[in-house]
Structure 1
Amino acid sequence: MTTATISDETRLRDEICRIGASIFNRGLTFGSTGNISARLPSGEMLMTPTNASLGDLDPARLSRFTAEGVHVGGDAPTKEAFLHRCMYCERPKAGAVVHLHSTYSVAVSILADVDPSDVLPPLTAYYIMRVGSLPLVPYYPPGDESLAIAVGEQAKAHSAVLLANHGPVVSGATLREAQYATEELEETAKLHLLLDGHKTRPLTPEQVEALRRR
């Protein structure tokens, strides 16, 4: 392993821990919920381990996986590691994945009257630019193989998915992009719930299409 490679990995380990602390300290996750991963240039993955608080991560103890998804180092991996692998398999340009049990996003995932093909309305330009559209993956128990298959199917066309009664899984080209998209999704879910019962003026289909072309 070259010095440059070691430096890249060290920086990525530190960045995962900084972003985890930021997410935790702002109440976007709690306890030992949520997990973050990032992909090294070699295709290997670093991931927050099982039973770890995102607010108190140790860079040296992050789980390490081969490009094929085999755990080879660090603490025992989260049981939700397969969610990250599903996103990477279908989105080869993804460099990071964030999965949270964030309150407003989970609340929306429990609503009975959402459109499963696109859960949230286009309320803001930044939601469209960072998230795009958000399909709802049906509920499966944590760790169920059927959940992996369902996430993989949606990941072919979407950078973010919402797991019913569970939470969002969001990929990005970089760790920062995945973080910002996850936070934009959570704020849009909050807006959606705050506006319930009020007349709204979402972006028009023409405005949405213009943003997507950009």
Structure 2
Amino acid sequence: MTPDTARAEIVRAGSSLFARGYVHASAGNISAKLDDDQGHLITPTDAALGFLSGDRIAQVDADGRQIAGDRASKTLTLHRRIYEADPTARFVIHTHSTHLVALTLAGVWQQDDVLPPITPYYVMKVGHVPLIPYHRPGDPRVADLVTERINSRATQGTSIRAVLLDRLGPVAWGPDAASALAVLEELEETARLWLTTDRKPAPLPEPAIAELRDTFGAAW
């Protein structure tokens, strides 16, 4: 992704998330990995994602040193480590989405799977999502924990596309902006479904999940 394309995609994603209520105030951050080891772009610290200015988005080099734009988000280390751990990741989004933060307060389904596989699209588009224990915003230890989860799933032959930070919300990633947005949106909407049905729906039966794996390559 070129710097100009990445800036435009970050601005577009931020505006879309804000308009639909996935982000508020200055919560959340977005980044993109640039082509040819040019480093990364990431939203500035305390930026309002609904009102981003492309020329103020921070650019850091391959070693994480800032070379342009406003001061980079305090979560830069987390974003960079996700890109290192998952070579397919090119776009990362973190929000404080209401239902997913509420899920951490009410109690997740399991530590390694914050939501049960209650819909086929959750299985197909999101997959396994682990809970990351609470640390203050920007704590570099979170990057270690997320990297551990990515590597652990890889050793089991599956990949993850998102994690849920306790009390802080989801971090989702993908090969492009559209993919990362799709993961985040499906994750938030599944949390809303589960919470608004009193967390009563049973998971899909294993034969149904196996069919989704066989037919669509679902990572579950």
TM score, norm. by length of structure 2: 0.88
Deviation above 4 Å: which 4+ runs of structure 1? none
Identity %: 42
User: Which amino acid is 1:41 matched to?
Assistant: D
Counterpart contact for 2:108–2:114, Cα < 8 Å? no
State the partner residue of 2:208. Answer: 207
| Aligned counterpart in structure 1 of residue 133 of structure 2, from 130, 138, 143 | 138
State the partner residue of 1:196. Answer: 198
Cα distance between partner residues in 1 of 2:168 and 2:117: 22
> Aligned-pair distance for 1:106?
0.7
Is 1:119 aligned to residue 114 of structure 2? yes
Distance 1:77 1:114, change over 3 A: same
Q: Secondary structure at the match of 1:211?
A: helix
Q: Which moved more, 1:179-188 or 1:144-153?
A: 144-153
State the partner residue of 2:22. Answer: 28
Q: Deviations over 1:35-90 (max 9, x none)?
A: 11111112321111111111100111111111232222111011111221121111
Q: How many residues align?
A: 207
User: Structure 2: which 5+ residue stretches go unaligned?
Assistant: 154-159
State the partner residue of 2:182. Answer: 180
Q: Secondary structure at the match of 1:64?
A: strand
Counterpart contact for 2:11–2:54, Cα < 8 Å? yes
Is 1:57 aligned to residue 59 of structure 2? no
Cα distance between partner residues in 2 of 1:94 and 1:28: 21
Is 1:67 aligned to residue 68 of structure 2? no
Counterpart contact for 1:172–1:178, Cα < 8 Å? yes
State the partner residue of 1:166. Answer: 168
| Aligned counterpart in structure 2 of residue 42 of structure 1, from 36, 40, 44 | 36
Counterpart contact for 1:155–1:161, Cα < 8 Å? no
Q: Secondary structure at the match of 2:51?
A: coil
Q: Secondary structure at the match of 1:150?
A: helix
Counterpart contact for 2:78–2:140, Cα < 8 Å? no
> Aligned-pair distance for 1:205?
2.1
> Aligned-pair distance for 1:197?
5.5
> Aligned-pair distance for 1:139?
1.0
Cα distance between partner residues in 1 of 2:105 and 2:192: 14
Cα distance between partner residues in 1 of 2:59 and 2:166: 28
User: Which amino acid is 1:107 matched to?
Assistant: A
Q: Which moved more, 1:204-213 or 1:167-176?
A: 204-213
> Aligned-pair distance for 1:170?
0.7
TM score, norm. by length of structure 1: 0.91
Kindly report the root-mean-square deviation, in angstroms, between the aligned alpha carbons of the 2 structures: 1.6
State the partner residue of 2:73. Answer: 78
Is 1:110 aligned to residue 99 of structure 2? no
Trace 1:3-14 onto structure 2 (pairs within 5 A): 8-14=2-8
User: Which amino acid is 1:116 matched to?
Assistant: Q
Counterpart contact for 2:131–2:166, Cα < 8 Å? yes
User: Which amino acid is 2:31 matched to?
Assistant: S
> Aligned-pair distance for 1:113?
5.4
